[in-house]
Amino acid sequence: MAPVDKEMLTQFLLRMGDNTLILGHRVSEWCGHAPVLEEDIALANTALDLIGQTQFWLGYAAEVMEDGKSADDIAFLRDAWDFRNLLLLELPNGDFGQTLMRQFLFDAYQSILLPRLMKSSDQRIAEIAEKASKEVAYHVERSAETVVGLGDGTEESHKRMQAALDRLWPYVGEMFASDEVDAAMAAAGVAPDPATLREEYNALIGKVLSEATLTIPDSDFAHKGGRTGATHTEHLGHLLSQMQWLQRAYPGATW
Amino acid sequence: MVNPQQHSPGAPPVRAALPDVAQVWTWLHAVPDPEIPVISLTDLGIIRDVAYEDDNLVVTVTPTYSGCPATSIINLDIETALRGHGVDSLELRRQLSPAWTTDWLTDEGREKLEKYGIAPPQPAGGPDKCPQCGSQHVEKMSQFGSTPCKAQWRCTACLEPFDYFKCI
């Protein structure tokens, strides 16, 4: 197997950690605003799991980078162009249905990727994946159930869920748009090439979305630029200005 | 205590004998979970190992959920308890793998939970009965609850809502 390139490994870990960080932050925006108390609690708990996983991924990224930074430094002191999350995850929440549709589309991806990472040649990645995959199995169960409940629900909820899928679908393709980082990780046995996960992903979401009586748009067009950092949406900067303001206003502040 | 008189000149100063590992486990068994104080950290199954590396006591702890805010409080409580018992060379080590599972809850822990009104985890994925009235007519309200480790259920017989300790 090819040796692991440190720079490539760092990029891979940032992608993993930024995905959970940015989605975790987005989901936490629901705290106190969800349609019913139970859903509010569920969203906050999901966000908590995602932020917890972020600490593992970015904590490891910080160790690999060896420049004296912590997971917190990486989360709070980088600017938009240094983030490596999928564009899907930085989009504004929209309504409750759109939030849960996004959650499902990402949970489904993680539920396929993490079990593969449990077999990573990098022991640390395997351990984080083992821990996270248990939480993700729980998340995908709930988000899939909710997508089915709302998709196959009332006329209004069905309409909103179809609109959410239509809106988010062009952001799904980026998950599988592999590049030289993915090639290096695959060659070193660290992680699978995400392009190889697409078939299983399509089968999983196809099953759930059909049960939800929703129609997957007939287009493969994919917005890209999040996981490479090349072209984030304008929404990321606004998210960061809220997420990072305390460390920016009071550098080094601690609890 | 060793009598310093019995020591050869030039030997390092002698300290009180280190508490044995079984004693440390007993002390940890008395440390309550900060969010569900009815059970202890050992009932919860998150203390994975207690061992000495030379004179340094190493306690290995695994988190329940990645983002559980109790994790740092648990570490603080372990440290406070053991230092209170005179342990001064102490290290807490985090272990992610094997990942925590509710299979590690002790039988004693499960009993305490149920008595307290929290239905213990079941492999079937839901509580087998209402912890209040014992009825088997229960339904899920939400997959999540007041802490990451719990879900909300209710009893359709006595109509009381209750917490269910999620099975993972």
pLDDT digits (tens, 9 = 90+) for A155-184: 999 999 999 999 999 999 999 999 999 999
- The answer to whether A38 contacts chain B (CB < 8 Å) is yes
Give the Å distances, CA to CA, from B18 to A48, B27, B84, B85. 39, 14, 14, 11
Q: For B148, which of A45, A53, A128 is closest by C-beta distance?
A: A45
Q: Is B19 exposed, middle or buried (0-12, 13-18, 19+ CB in 10 A)?
A: middle
A126 touches chain B (CB under 8 A): yes
Q: What gap in Å lies between CA B107 and CA B44, rounded to an integer?
A: 10
Task: Output the six-digit token pair for A33.
Answer: 């605003």
Phi-psi region of A15 (alpha: psi -120 to 50; beta: other; left: phi over 0): alpha
In whole angstroms, what is the distance from residue B155 CA to residue B126 CA? 12
Interface test with A, best of B75, B97, B164 (most A CBs within 10 A): B97
Token couple for B108 = 């004693």
Distance in Å, alpha carbon of B145 to nearest chain A alpha carbon: 6
Distance CA B114, CA B39 (A): 11
ipTM of the complex as predicted:
0.84
For residues A53 and A40, is the Cβ–Cβ distance under 8 A? no
**For residue A105, which of A54, A140, A133, A136 has the smallest C-alpha distance?**
A140
Neighbours of A104 (CB within 10 A): 28
Interchain CB contact of A35 with B (< 8 Å): no
The reported pLDDT for the residue numbered B68 is 86
The pLDDT profile of chain A, 255 residues, written as one tens digit per residue, is: 788 999 999 999 999 999 999 999 999 999 999 999 989 999 999 999 999 999 999 999 999 999 999 999 999 999 999 999 999 999 999 999 999 999 999 999 999 999 999 999 999 999 999 999 999 999 999 999 999 999 999 999 999 999 999 999 999 999 999 999 999 999 999 999 999 999 999 999 999 999 999 999 999 999 999 999 999 999 999 999 999 999 999 998 987
Point out which residues pair with B60 in neighbouring strands: B49, B93
Kindly determine whether residue B148 and residue A48, on different chains, have CB atoms separated by under 8 Å. yes
Residue A41 in contact with partner chain B when CB distance is under 8 A: yes
- B49 alpha-carbon distance from chain centroid: 12
How far off is chain B from A233, nearest CA to CA, in Å?
28
Domain at A6-214+225-249: CATH code: 1.20.1260.10
Please indicate whether, in this complex, the C-beta atoms of A131 and B96 are within 8 angstroms of each other. yes
Q: How far is A140 from chain B (nearest CA, A)?
A: 11
CB atoms within 10 A of CB A66: 9
Q: How far is B95 from chain A (nearest CA, A)?
A: 9
- pLDDT mean for each 10 residues of chain B (168 residues): 50 71 97 95 96 96 91 95 95 95 95 96 91 95 89 95 93
Q: Which residues of B touch A142 (CB under 8 A)?
A: 143-144
What pLDDT shows up at residue B85?
A: 96
Cβ burial of B157 (10 Å; 0-12, 13-18, 19+) is middle
Q: Which of A28, A37, A48 to mutate to test the interface with B (most CBs of B within 10 A)?
A: A48
Which amino acid is present at A10?
A: T
Q: b or e along B127-155 (b: 16 or more beta carbons within 10 Å of the residue's beta carbon)?
A: bebbbeeeeeebeebbbbbebbbbbbbbb
Q: How far is A219 from chain B (nearest CA, A)?
A: 34
Q: Which residues of B touch A46 (CB under 8 A)?
A: 144
Place of tokens 């299979």: B103
Asked if B144's CB is within 8 angstroms of A46's CB, the reply is: yes
**What gap in Å lies between CA B110 and CA A61, rounded to an integer?**
38
**Chain B residues closer than 8 Å to A55 by CB:** 66-67
Q: Hey, are the CB atoms on A38 and B142 less than 8 Å from each other?
A: yes
A93 CB within 8 Å of a chain B CB: no
Q: How many CB pairs under 8 A join A and B?
A: 66
From chain A, the residues in CB contact with B93 under 8 A are: none
Q: Which structural domains are found in chain B, ordered by start?
A: 21-100 (3.30.300.130), 105-165 (no CATH)
Cβ proximity of A13 and A120 under 8 Å: no
Separation of alpha carbons A81 and A36, rounded Å: 36
Does A45 lie at the interface with B, CB-CB under 8 angstroms? yes
